[in-house]
Chain A
Amino acid sequence: MGRVAIVGVGLSKFGRSTDMNIKELAFVAVKAALNEAGLTARDVEFLSVGSFGLWQSEALPAVVISEYCGFENAGTVRVEAACASGSAAVYTAANAVASGQAKVAVALGVERMSESPQEVVVEMLGRSGNFFWEFENYGLTFPGYYALYATDYFSKYGASEEDLAEVAVKNHYYGSLNPYAQFQKRITKEDVLKSKYVAWPLKLLDCSPITDGAAAVVIAAEEVAKSLTDSPVWIKSMGVAAGSSNLSRRKDFTRLEASLKAAKMAYKAAGIEYEKAAKYLDVALVHDCFTIAEIMAYEDLGFARRGEGFILAKEQQTYVGGLIPVNLDGGLKAKGHPIGATGVAMAVEVVKQLQRRAEPGRQADIRNGTALTHNVGGTGHYAYVFVYSSS
């Protein structure tokens, strides 16, 4: 398998979009990414599209997008890994290039969640827990699933709603510095604690929003990447794992086993020691669909010991200058969470960080030239952990 690199990235503004349909939205991200790469649509030999899609009118988004973007020489596929569909798209495109099947591939993530009413979107998300045994009779929602984690975590480790609020405050702070973010307003701990319960003990400001958005990365084989740019960002390793469909079949509710497995797989291939992972990484993008999810990620990724993730947040160790800066783009929490676009947007942000071109105030110190993305699908159903490197 050959080395592969990202040679161009593009993003649409995240938020509620009423001015572009799905192909127009995708075009914004693809155009920016191809421009950066110095390539044209005809150079693209494969397109993978991450889109969950239940809420949007177009049933085959990969096809309409491929045509609209003029990818005449590319085969395509839509991939689904719930909220990690974007990372599944990166995985698929990277493997197409690494295997030699394509020299240049595009991974695109796109979602138009605002095409359906909010309550229907809440239902479509809730149904993807485990349909019959969790949703049909009991009406669990996505915030509800993560609230079940929060209750157990609080009970085992003595953390509180106030500790979770630290994560929301940080991610909104960095969102305020990111022109692509859905929320660009700073919030205080009091704002979080005063916000209404969505699924006790999680409140509105503990939750990522419903978002429209698109993100694209151009992935190229080593010799193509080197001919295009002096600063490619290499995909050093990819860890992928799955968890049980039923939440009730997990060992406990304070961790995501799939995250742990995917992290260990990615770390091993990249030569990173699990217990000291934070020392190897300059910056991390972790899956903060809810504040509790970011806390669990600190532990599952080896940044903090079991039960001490919330202390990392409390001590503000995940801001720039701390032990390990996390979600400097505002995370899913403030940047927004257009389900299938999120994983690709993480790849976009990692490239910006490693190339030192994030906006002022949200750029990490790049010392090792190594960064991580962690993207979870569902309630821990899918986990994708990738390590990226500038050398």
Chain B
Amino acid sequence: MSAANKNRALQLSEDLKKLSQQAINKSGLPIVNDEKTRDPILIDQNTLLVSYLLPVKKIMPFFEGLMRGEVLATRCRRCGAKYFPPQSDCSACYESEMEWFKVSDEGVLLTYTQINVKPASFSNCEDYVVGIAEFQEGVKVVARVLTNDLKSLRVGMRVKLAVIKEAQSGNLVYVFQPLQR
């Protein structure tokens, strides 16, 4: 759900670049005075941009599940331990034979919050709600709750686990839809 608009961290960095270029034009150095304390501050002339690359081969069935509209978890074939987020090795018995199962469509909302002060990558988003729900298979899931009406939510209410396309990017994500009961 990160905003497809211009990356905020990049924007902040470009603002600093501009500021330091002005300083260089004036004094020959990228040193500016801090707005509050007036202390001299040197602005880094290089920009570090990182997008991480994550191997998902061992849990690829999870992503294939999303393509079918399903949220999948894993169960250890030896000891029965269940995992969400899904994992390919059992932390309990060290077996690596896992079976995949579908998390049921409806769960119970255990807790929730609304994010008001947002991280740089989400700074273009409206305030958003995130919650944790528990499902009958015994797994708990963190996901976005699709509502902006906090008053309509309560701990213990039922939510639907759904796979949707993000409005801007089309990226498949799983979310909670509050159920009116």
Contacts and interface: CB of A to CB of B under 8 A. Distances in A.
Interface of A: 16, 18-19, 57, 117, 119-120, 122-123, 126-127, 130, 132-141, 143-144, 147-152, 155, 196-202, 246-249, 252-253
Counting contact residues on chain B (CB < 8 A from A), the size range is 35 or more
B117 A141 contact: yes
A299 to B, nearest CB: 17
A120 B132 contact: no
B115 A199 contact: yes
Nearest to A140: B130
A18 B142 contact: no
A200 to B, nearest CB: 4
B110 A140 contact: no
A119 to B, nearest CB: 4
The list of the 7 closest CB pairs from A to B, nearest first, reads A123-B119, A147-B113, A18-B39, A155-B155, A139-B122, A248-B140, A119-B120
Given A119-B8, A200-B150, A137 B116 contact: no
Interface of B: 1-2, 8-9, 12, 34, 36-37, 39, 41, 44, 54, 84-85, 110-123, 125, 128, 130-132, 139-144, 150, 154-156, 171, 173
Nearest to A251: B140
B12 to A, nearest CB: 5
Contacts of B110: 152, 252-253
A200 B142 contact: no
B144 A137 contact: yes
B36, B41, B114: which has the most chain A beta carbons within 10 Å?
Answer: B114
Contact of B120 (A122, A149, A197): A122
Nearest to B13: A117
A140 B111 contact: no
A143 B116 CA distance: 10
A138 B132 contact: no
Contacts of A139: 1-2, 115, 118-119, 121-122, 125, 128, 130
A19 B117 contact: no
A126 B119 contact: yes
Contacts of B9: 117, 119-120, 123
A246 B54 CA distance: 17
B132 A148 contact: yes
Given A18-B37, A144-B130, A148-B132, 19 more contacts: A18-B39, A119-B12, A119-B123, A123-B9, A123-B120, A130-B85, A133-B85, A135-B119, A137-B2, A139-B128, A140-B142, A143-B117, A148-B113, A150-B113, A151-B112, A197-B114, A199-B117, A201-B113, A248-B142
Nearest to A146: B113
B34, B122, B131: which has the most chain A beta carbons within 10 Å?
Answer: B122
A122 B111 contact: no
Contacts of A198: 116-117
23 contacts: A16-B36, A19-B37, A120-B9, A138-B130, A139-B2, A139-B119, A139-B128, A140-B142, A141-B117, A143-B117, A144-B130, A147-B114, A150-B113, A152-B111, A197-B114, A197-B116, A199-B114, A199-B116, A200-B150, A202-B113, A246-B142, A247-B132, A248-B139
